[in-house]
Amino acid sequence: MSEPNDIIYGVHPVAEALKNPKRKIYSLKASKNAADRLAAEIEASGIAAEIVHPKELDKRLGDEAVHQGLLMEAKPLNQPRLDQIEKSGIVVLLDQVTDPHNVGAILRTCAAFNVTALVATARHSPDASAVLFKSASGAYEHVPFVKVTNLSRAMAELKDYGFRILGLDSDAPEDISAVDRAPPVAIVMGAEGKGLRELTRKSCDHLVRLDMNGPIRSLNVSNACAVALYAMTR
């Protein structure tokens, strides 16, 4: 049984998919204004856009979807196994982060900081959905998104490749700036509320925190990822 097509909407996700040579695109529906806006990308891709009224996209996607006049159907991308990623740079791991908005935002941050790969478990993580693509704002086309069966085993495998594993924890004894952050290095982000699971914590080489001086010491997981990656690349 074949996988369902990826449903991609919005200017940035569609534009990046059009520019991705690994994408097999089946169809592109666009309003006249949206087609004009992405005329160069559409022409370069060789895809013929079907011009439609925006209300047709509203009917297909629902009133809540900010489609910006663009709707693409494409074959799902082939994602690498953990042993197929580059054994360098920074890897981000997610410990049961399930909200597609958060994971999409984390993908966008990973693309901004040139992260080697984003790793999550096949269970307790969101599917590649239209909401995730929109939240990632095109980053899904650039960051390998690796799904693994067991996170602690994936962490052990990364250690075998020479990665040090940092776990982000607001109660950790060390600030992230105090530990060796030279690549190859991986950082694990826990789910909001629950944080890192006990086995995940034990599998880390260091538990680190982000020092913040304000009255609220916790951040949304996607914001925490952005701050952590900034600290790791300074």
Angle formed at CA 121 by CA 225 and CA 205, multiple of 5 degrees = 60
Taking the model in full, what pTM does it have?
Answer: 0.93
Is the model more confident about 58 or about 217? 58
Q: What is the pLDDT of residue 107?
A: 98
Q: Residues 219, 223, 225, 227: is their CA dihedral positive or negative?
A: negative
Which one, of 148, 149, 165, lies nearest residue 201 by Cα?
Answer: 165
Site of tokens 């880390």: 204
Per-residue pLDDT tens over the stretch 92-102? 999 999 999 99
Q: What is the pLDDT of residue 64?
A: 84
pLDDT at 193 over 80: no
In angstroms, rounded to a whole number, what is the distance separating the alpha carbons of residues 27 and 60? 14
Q: Which whole number is the average pLDDT over 13-20?
A: 97
Per-residue pLDDT band at 2 (split at 50, 70, 90): low
Q: Which whole number is the average pLDDT over 11-28?
A: 97
Q: What is the pLDDT of residue 218?
A: 78
pLDDT at 194 over 90: no
In angstroms, rounded to a whole number, what is the distance separating the alpha carbons of residues 178 and 221? 21
Per-residue pLDDT band at 127 (split at 50, 70, 90): confident
Q: What is the pLDDT of residue 190?
A: 94
The rounded percent of the chain whose pLDDT value lies above 70 is 99
Burial class (CB in 10 A: 0-12, 13-18, 19+), 186: buried
In angstroms, rounded to a whole number, what is the distance separating the alpha carbons of residues 111 and 94? 16
Helix H or strand E segment including 118: strand 117-121
Per-residue pLDDT tens over the stretch 136-185? 999 999 999 999 999 999 999 999 999 999 999 988 989 999 999 999 99
In angstroms, rounded to a whole number, what is the distance separating the alpha carbons of residues 173 and 187? 16
Per-residue pLDDT band at 124 (split at 50, 70, 90): confident
Per-residue pLDDT tens over the stretch 56-106? 999 999 888 899 999 999 999 999 999 999 999 999 999 999 999 999 999
Cα-Cα end-to-end distance for the chain: 46
